[in-house]
Each structure stands twice: as structure tokens, then as C-alpha cells.
Structure 1
Amino acid sequence: MKKFLVSLDKDVARRELFFAQPDTQNFEVFSAINTMNETEETLAQRFDLTQFEQHYGRKVTKGEVGCTLSHLAIYQKIADNSAIAEDEFCLICEDDALFAENFQSVIDEIIQQNIQADIILTGQSKILQFNDIELEINYPITFEVLSPKIGNTNYCYAFPYKNYFAGTVCYLIKKSAVRKFLIFLTQHKAYWLADDYPLFEQQFAMQTRVIRPLLAIENPDLVSNLESIRGSLNNNLFKKLVKYPLKKALAIKRNLT
């Protein structure tokens, strides 16, 4: 399986921390596209700034453009690689990814299981632990006993109650799925956030599943605003709990159908 690591050239320390983890030696480093010094005019040549604003109701940041373009550039590399089969998954990670202890063995089991999906979210950003309660409260799946197990592991996969923005810290994507993006780009410019999985479902008919517990989170040693993230997760806990029963019901229904 082909593995890619997205990293800005300047982030040497981040890469060193990433490659200090087991089973990372076969990742191909992709030099992330740095758009921070570009003008709005040059960005507009590669990214539809107007459509982004119409879709999201705000202006895009230069970093968001660079992130989306970087992932799309990797998709082009996947499409151009004749050694990768159309139904084969590739793994894409960002350099702040912290892996669970049994990361590689579970990834191997996922590949062998032939899960029917275009994208499998194996990681998530802005989550503090691999099995954080925030996952269940905000992003529930169906009951664990009803979720297909991944081999002989304690992991399972399922549809979330609905697709949501989960970050791009670590995910699997099929070669056949990347072609859907690239076909669109032959006549249009990208206008989306790199982790807009709800849009990918609507625009490209992408099936996205999630792994529970997570196999990757953002490395706490690299999250400078950890306290603000913790505060954000704890904010309006009561409101989140009020919404939870409906979300859980939607998750059960979605996975049954």
C-alpha cells in the first residue's frame, strides 16, 4: 500500500517526530504547497475563491488553499501511478499525526477486509484521545455490537450519523475515488476545504466510513492551542448531550440502511 506524508519543507522537527514512530519508514514525503506568500490573484488562478465564499459564507485562508491543493496534488500522483490498482487504498497522513500503538496491524486488517468505501477516516483532528468520549457525543456511530469488526481487533468501522469535517490528519482513499476529484478539475477549479466530507458525498457520491476507536490523532506535543481545544470541546456540553439521542438514532438508521 502506498503511503504519503504531507509536510511543509520547513517543518523538519515535525517530520522527525513523525518518523520516530514505528512503521513509518515507508511513507513518501510530499512537500506541501506553501501558499502563504501568494497574492489573491495568483491563488485565484488555481482555486475558486468566489465559489468558496459562496459555499462557506466566508473567505478562504491561504493555509486552507494550500492544504486543499496539497491533497489534490497527491491524488494526481496516485492516479498517475500505474502500480496502484483502481480499487486499492492509499494512506495519506499529515506530519502532526500520532498513531495508536497497533496502528499498522489494524491498517493491514482494514485492507484485507475489503471495506466498501471510497474514503475511510482512520484519524481525526481536535480530539484529545483515541477513544475520546467526544467522539461518541458529537460524532456517534451505531451500537458497537452492530458495527462490523476489523479482523480480530477491538476496532470497528461504520458510517457516522452524518458526514462531518474530521480533518485530514490520517485517512485512506481509493484510487477510483481520487479520479472523481481529478475529472472535476479538468473543467473547474477546486473550491472546497480538504476535509469537506459532506460536500464530497453530495458532489462526488463518495462513501465515507469511520474507524472506532481512532487510529490517529493530532500529536499533543505539536498542538500549541491544546487548552483552547479542550475548552472548545467542553463548551456547551449540555447542548451536545441534548442532541445526542437524535444523532445516535440517525447513526443507527444510516448503518441499517
Structure 2
Amino acid sequence: MKKYLISLEKDAQRRELFFSQPDTSDFEVFNAINTMGLSQAELEKTFDFAAFKNAYHRDVTKGEIGCTLSHLNVYKKVIEDDAIDERDYVLVCEDDVLFAENFNENLTALLQENLTADIILVGQSKIPSFDDKELAVNYPTTFGFLQKPVGKTKYRYAYPYRNYFAGTVAYLIKKSACRRFWREVQRLPATYWLADDFILFGQQFGLDILVVRPLMAIENPNLTSNLEALRGSLDNNMAKKLMKFPLKKLLAIKRNLSCLH
């Protein structure tokens, strides 16, 4: 399976930290598109600022544009690679990813399952740990015994209560799904979406998206200087999240019963 690492060329320290992890030597590095030195006029050639604001009700940042364009260009490389079958998955990661123990072995077990989804989120951003309570409360799936086991590992896959913004730290995507993205790029005057708008990708692109629990990858805490602030923010909002949890859980159970076979 092809594996891609998206990383800014200038971020040598991040790359060094990434490749210090086991089983990473087979990743192909894609030099991320650095948009910080470009003007809005230059960026408007490939990104629709007005469409973004209409969709997200705020202005886009240059970093977000660079992220979206970088992931799209990885998809282009996948499409152009004749060695990759339309049904094959590729792994796309960013250079701040931290893999769980035995990641490669567990990923192999996941790929041996009878998977048909277009995208499988094996990682998530802005989560302090691989099995954090935030996952269960704010992003619930169905009951554990109803989730699909991944071989003899501790991992399971399922649908979340609904698609959500999970970040793009680590995910599997089929070549056919990469092609679906580029059909949208060619159809529209310019790209306008966030790289992790899995709500849009499900609703408008018609992509089937699964999640893995616990997570196989998170953002590396050594690169997340505000991790304690993040943890505090998540805890402060926990009461409100717990109030919404019963409905989310019910929606997750209903979705998995109707979709996960």
C-alpha cells in the first residue's frame, strides 16, 4: 500500500521526529504547498474565497488553503499512479502524526477486513490521547459489541453519529475517492472546502466514511505546545457535551444498524 507524508519542506525537525517512529521508512514525502508568501490574488487562481465564506461563514486562512491544496495534490499523484487500483487504499498522513503502538501491524489487520468505505479515519486531530473520553462523549459510535472488530486486535470500526471535522492527521482513502475529489475540482471554478470537511464529503460528494476506535494516530504531543490548554478546554465543555450525548448515541446506533453490515 502506498503511504504519503505531507510536510512543508522547511519543517526538517517535524520530518525527523516522524521518521524516528517505527515502520515509517516506506512513506513518500509530499512537499506541502506553502501559501504563506502568496497574495490573495495569487491564491484566488486555485481557491474560491467567496465560496468558502458562504459555506463556513468566516474568512479562510492561508494555512487552511495550503492544507486543502496539499491533500488534493496528493490525490492527483494517486490518480496518476497506474500501479494503484481504483479499489486500493492509500494512507495519507501529516508530519505531526504520532502512531499508536504496533501501528503498521494493526493497519495491515484493518486492510484485511472486507472494507468498502471510501475514507477510513484512523486518526484524529486535537485529541489528547488515543482513547480519550472526548471520543466517546462528543464523537460517539454505536455500542462496542456492535462495532466491527479488526481481526484479533483491540480496534474496531464503525460509523460515527454523523460525519464531523476530524482533522487530516491520518486517514485511508481509496483511489476512486481521490478521483471523485478531482471531478469536483474540474467541475467548479475553484476549490473552496476545508481538507477535513467530512460532512461535505459525505453529503455532497457521496463518499462513505468510517472511523476506527480507539484511534491509531493522534497529533504528536511533542509538537502540540498548547496540549494542556486543549485538555482544559475539552474538560470545560464536557457538561454541555454530556447533555447532548444521549441523542448523539441514539443517532450513532441508528446509523450503524442501517449502514454497517
| TM-score interval, normalised by the smaller of the two chains | over 0.9
**Cα distance in 2 between the residues matched to 1:196 and 1:236:** 22
- Percent identical among aligned pairs is 59
How far 1:153 sits from its partner (Å)?
A: 0.7
Aligned Cα root-mean-square deviation (Å): 0.7
State the partner residue of 2:143. Answer: 143
**Cα distance in 1 between the residues matched to 2:237 and 2:29:** 39
Other structure's SS at 2:112 match: helix
Q: Does 1:109 align with 2:109?
A: yes
How far 1:15 sits from its partner (Å)?
A: 0.5
Other structure's SS at 2:191 match: coil
State the partner residue of 2:172. Answer: 172
Aligned residue type for 2:197: D
Q: Please give the TM-score of this superposition, normalised by the length of structure 1.
A: 0.99
Aligned residue type for 1:211: V
**Cα distance in 1 between the residues matched to 2:37 and 2:13:** 22
**Cα distance in 2 between the residues matched to 1:169 and 1:236:** 23
Larger mean CA deviation between 185-194 and 205-214 belongs to 185-194
Q: Does 1:85 align with 2:68?
A: no
State the partner residue of 1:98. Answer: 98
**Cα distance in 2 between the residues matched to 1:102 and 1:129:** 16
- 1:172-231 deviation line (CA, Å, top 9, x unaligned): 000000111111111311100000000001111011000000000000000011122112
**Cα distance in 2 between the residues matched to 1:7 and 1:207:** 27
State the partner residue of 1:125. Answer: 125
- 1:133-163 deviation line (CA, Å, top 9, x unaligned): 1100000000000111001111000000000
State the partner residue of 1:11. Answer: 11
Aligned residue type for 1:237: M
**Cα distance in 2 between the residues matched to 1:169 and 1:196:** 13
| Unaligned residue ranges in structure 2 (runs of 5+) | none
State the partner residue of 2:247. Answer: 246
Aligned residue type for 2:121: L
Q: How does 1:1-257 map to 2 (within 5 A)?
A: 1-188=1-188, 189-257=190-258
Larger mean CA deviation between 225-234 and 239-248 belongs to 225-234
The count of corresponding residues between Structure 1 and Structure 2 is 257
How far 1:118 sits from its partner (Å)?
A: 0.4
**Cα distance in 2 between the residues matched to 1:43 and 1:254:** 39
Other structure's SS at 1:30 match: strand
| Unaligned residue ranges in structure 1 (runs of 5+) | none
**Cα distance in 2 between the residues matched to 1:232 and 1:40:** 33
**Cα distance in 2 between the residues matched to 1:202 and 1:249:** 20
**Cα distance in 2 between the residues matched to 1:73 and 1:6:** 10
Aligned residue type for 1:216: A
Aligned residue type for 1:63: G
- 1:55-82 deviation line (CA, Å, top 9, x unaligned): 0000100000000000000000000000
Q: Please give the TM-score of this superposition, normalised by the length of structure 2.
A: 0.97
Other structure's SS at 1:113 match: coil
How far 1:52 sits from its partner (Å)?
A: 0.2
